[in-house]
Chain A
Amino acid sequence: MANIRNRLLLILGCVLVSAWALFPRTVIERVKRDGVFVYDTVKRVPLKKGLDLQGGMHLTLEVDESKQAVADKAEALDRALKVIRQRIDEFGVAEPVVQKIGTDRLVVELPGIDDPERAQSVVSEAAFLQFQITDRTQALERVLARLDQAAAAAGIRSGTQVATGDTARSVGVTSLFGGDSAAADSDSAAATTPATPSAGLFTSNVAGGAVPGQYVVPIEAYDALASALNTPSVQAVIPPGKQLKWGSEELVAGNQRYRELYMLDAKPIITGEYLIDARPNTDPVDGNVVTFTLNNEGGRRFKNETAKHLKENMAIVLDDKVMTAPVIQSSIGRNGQITLGGGSLQAAQDLALVLRAGALPVPLKITEVRNIGASLGQDSIDKGVRALALSVLLVIVIMIGYYRFAGTLAVAALALYVLFTAAVLAGFDAVLTLPGLAGFVLSVGIAVDANVLIFERIREELDAGKSVRLSVDEGFRHALSAIVDSAVTTILSGAVLYQYGSGPVRGFAVTLIAGVVASLFTALFVSRTFFMLWLQQTRGAKALSI
């Protein structure tokens, strides 16, 4: 009898431990309050929900080698990981995950974000800042004809009819920009660019802009020009020491939209590596801006360089796009400002954030995005819980209906099974996903199998004319090998799934394995104890309702 007491104590202990593991506890975590993330203590059940249940975003990033090969990818990724982690911390996400997978991939998980697009750009933007002086030697005009030839040789034509010499419009553009900028006294480009009909791709589409080195291109010709400029044979025509870069925004004049193209000195006077601080700001004249501060060395260089280029235009280039190209009025020291044009204050905030966290050491590209809205996640939870409740109910009805008294013992064991499985999941910090929830529902159906095997065996032993006590003993003993065998095969296939599955499917494997382990314990130990207890109470009953 001491044996039974010890068994009961052990079961009680397991129940208490499980209950404690699942009890809502206070944890410190980042929560969102009035749109701002703060650390706070919250009370919650310590079961972690996967991205597919609570909503959120999963990103896989890879080194982008389409422009240039990267020598030491693993090392560069380590640095990129630090930068991204810092950006995300400042962006504010509850419990983010940033992980390196293998040697060439980063996985970023952002639970509970509500603006996926913004989060995406905060993570993947390179934020490489350069300051380059715009060209004032009309380098582009001198090579326009050769650019045309190279483009024609490469077989690139303007996809639209703009190239058929809309001279009037080109002239209009030139005068438009020449006219509205009195400062553009050196805008001699205007004189040279009116396109001649039937001229080449560049000649007919590129018109001089407001400042030296700036040009405008009708939006219709943008695609053709951009692809021409990506062609090596066309690039070779660009004079050495110069670079062509696109502006970041569209310009609108009348009902025609344009893209800006800049000819720049290739060597930047300074880059963003000296930047130590960046803040969003709203300027009455320039709109939303980001003001930045350089460190002492950067400030000194910046001052020297800008002094050399007084009255010239300095393009502020972010990720190879020209943001603005203001005139240097006087030498600039440690502080500067980036004008965002039409950008929102939020865009300014995000830009300041990525500049502060630093540039990514290598360009990254997104190879996988999974984004689940929070409402869909909640919906999945509701439906999953409904299916779980229903399957438990059906199993209870079947078991009690078929096995009567023994069935109630099995159902009691099943209740403990659900408790233990949940506790194992909480204890191992496993993540509950939607397929995991399905696995849980399924495992309730499968978990009774062990009980069924035992009960059927007991029935057989009873039929063979054995006493109740002996039949129960034999039933448990003979059913053991089949139960263990089937548990092991399930665990093995679960382990394989865990090894080769990704996120949600891993959750499935984990619940499957936790379920099998819990079912082994409840069927072989808990049910057994219940039977022993019952046999003791009835002093070896003559009949068993099974």
Chain B
Amino acid sequence: MIRLFSKTSYDFLRFWRIAAAITVAFVVVGLATFGVTGGPNYSIEFTGGTLMQLEFKQAPDVAVLRSTVESAGVAGAEITQFGEATEYTVRAQDQASVDEQEAGAEGIAKKIETALTERFGAGEFTVVRTEAVGPKVGAELRRGAILALILTSIISLVYLAIRFDWRFGTAAVLSLVHDVVVTLAFIKIFDIEVSLTVVAAVLTVLGYSANDTIIIFDRVRENLRKFRKATLYDTINRSINETLGRSVLTHATTLAATLALLFFAGEVLRPFSIVMAFGVVVAVFSSMYVATPLLLFIEARYPRGDEDKNHRRGAADEMQALAAAGAGAKGGAASKARKPAATR
């Protein structure tokens, strides 16, 4: 029987300063790139514009391809190889092109195709994919995506607040916010194109990370009830250690699936897979080093006052109070370590 990380007792929380420094550094670098090069690289869906994926019989000369597209009157197009040497994407996303599509989204694609047919011949290439989006539709989609992100966070907050108490809920949601910010920084630093699919990946990362946090918090809640004399610090460390085996296994299988997507599912899904792979790492990190330290801080600032009094009154009273609070009460007398904070 293989057992990884069973009965461990690492002091994970000890490293929270280092962890915080890493996160802050990463976010600062991400934000700095936002400051230097502007917003993220939005896809056609969000900005409007035209994207054509072309498959040539023979690998074309990129310079010729570029000059042909320019001769069609599309000045600011970006031409990149897409996977194989015979496949290229032409992306007209500049303001002039987008504005032109206000009158009809199909115009630019038609112009480019006509020019290419004249230059390369009719049977020499096929347009395997066209995406042309007018500016209005793009703006609407962008609004929808931002709304979806905010809404997911709010819904998670409400749900966690109902299932746990507000301290756990707030810690979990703040760590979700951390996940979004860090993932955005990652997207920006590695210049990944933000499409709807990538937004879907970010939302999946959110769900996955929330899941991870819930599992640790669930254990914390249980251990608070079980070991009432232990400090919250120790209880959290114990909970992380106890769930370590599960974490390793689940992240391994998820990462396996993600890597399968990354390497075998093709070019179209690559941005999605990269964000997802990063997301698995973020989920591990944030549930251990963001959510739990936050919980510790929140408890220190807003301790469970009434339960604290109960604790001083004695174990029997505390049991009563816990029973009265029912399943909703998140047990656990505040630890001795918290007491000074409580009386302050």
Q: Judge whether B128 and A117 touch: CB under 8 Å.
A: no
Kindly identify which residue among B103, B137, B218, B249 contacts A402, using a CB–CB cutoff of 8 Å.
B249
A37-61 interface code vs B (CB 8 A; 1 in, 0 out)? 0000000000000000000000010
- The minimal Cβ–Cβ distance linking B208 to chain A, given in whole angstroms, is 7
Kindly state the separation between the CA atoms of A502 and B199 in the bound complex, as whole angstroms. 12
Size of A's binding interface in residues, CB under 8 A? 75
Known: A404-B1, A493-B206, A497-B200. A366 touches B104 (CB 8 A): yes
**4 tightest CB-CB pairs across the interface, nearest first?**
A445-B257, A486-B211, A367-B134, A394-B256
Contact between A456 and B246, CB atoms less than 8 A apart: yes
A545 to B2, CA, bound (A): 10
- Residue numbers in A under 8 Å from B2 (CB-CB): 401-402
Give residues 265-285 of B contacting A (CB, 8 Å).
Answer: 265-266, 268-269, 272-273, 276
**Which A residues, 432 to 461, have Cβ-Cβ distances below 8 Å to chain B?**
434-435, 437-439, 441-442, 444-446, 448-449, 452-453, 456, 459-460
Within 8 A of B (CB), among A266-293: none
Judged by a CB distance under 8 angstroms, whether A323 is at the interface is no
- Min Cβ gap B69→A in Å is 18
Whether a CB of chain A sits under 8 angstroms from the CB of B80 is no
Within 8 A of A (CB), among B1-59: 1-4, 6-7, 45, 53
A27 within 8 A of B: no
What would 9 A/B residue contacts be, using CB atoms closer than 8 Å?
A383-B266, A399-B253, A435-B200, A442-B257, A463-B6, A492-B159, A496-B151, A497-B203, A501-B196
Q: B: which residues have CB within 8 A of A? A: 1-4, 6-7, 45, 53, 103-106, 109-110, 113, 126-134, 136-137, 141, 144-145, 147-148, 151-152, 155-156, 159-160, 163, 196-197, 199-200, 203-204, 206-208, 210-211, 214-215, 218-219, 222, 242-243, 245-246, 249-250, 252-258, 260-261, 264-266, 268-269, 272-273, 276
**A interface, CB within 8 angstroms of B:** 60, 62, 66, 116-117, 120, 365-373, 375-376, 379-380, 383-384, 386-388, 390-391, 394-395, 398-399, 401-402, 404, 434-435, 437-439, 441-442, 444-446, 448-449, 452-453, 456, 459-460, 463, 478, 481-482, 485-486, 488-490, 492-494, 496-497, 499-502, 504-505, 508-509, 512, 545-546
Chain A residues contacting B204 (CB-CB under 8 Å) are 439, 442, 493, 512
Nearest CB of chain A from residue B148's CB, rounded to whole Å:
4
Q: How far is the CB of B182 from chain A (nearest CB, A)?
A: 17
A398: contacting residue among B214, B222, B256, B269, CB under 8 A: B256
Q: How distant is A373 from chain B, measured CB to nearest CB, in Å?
A: 4
Residues of A within 8 A of B144 (CB): 500-501
CA distance A388 to B269 in the complex (A): 13
Evaluate contact between A459 and B260: CB separation under 8 angstroms: no
Residue of A nearest to B146 (CB): A500
- Write out the residue numbers on chain A whose beta carbons fall within 8 Å of the beta carbon of B137: 60, 367-368
Which of the residues A376, A437, A500 comes within 8 Å of B147, measured between beta carbons? A500
What residues of chain A lie closer than 8 Å to B163, measured between beta carbons?
485
Known A368-B137, A398-B253, A502-B141: A434·B269 in contact at CB below 8 Å: yes
**Minimum CB–CB distance for B61 against chain A, Å:** 23
Closest chain-A Cβ to B147's Cβ sits at a distance in Å of: 6
Question: What 20 additional pairs, Cβ within 8 angstroms, besides A366-B105, A373-B129, A449-B246?
Answer: A60-B105, A366-B132, A366-B134, A367-B134, A368-B137, A369-B105, A370-B130, A371-B127, A386-B264, A391-B256, A391-B260, A391-B261, A435-B272, A439-B204, A453-B215, A453-B246, A489-B207, A492-B152, A493-B207, A493-B210
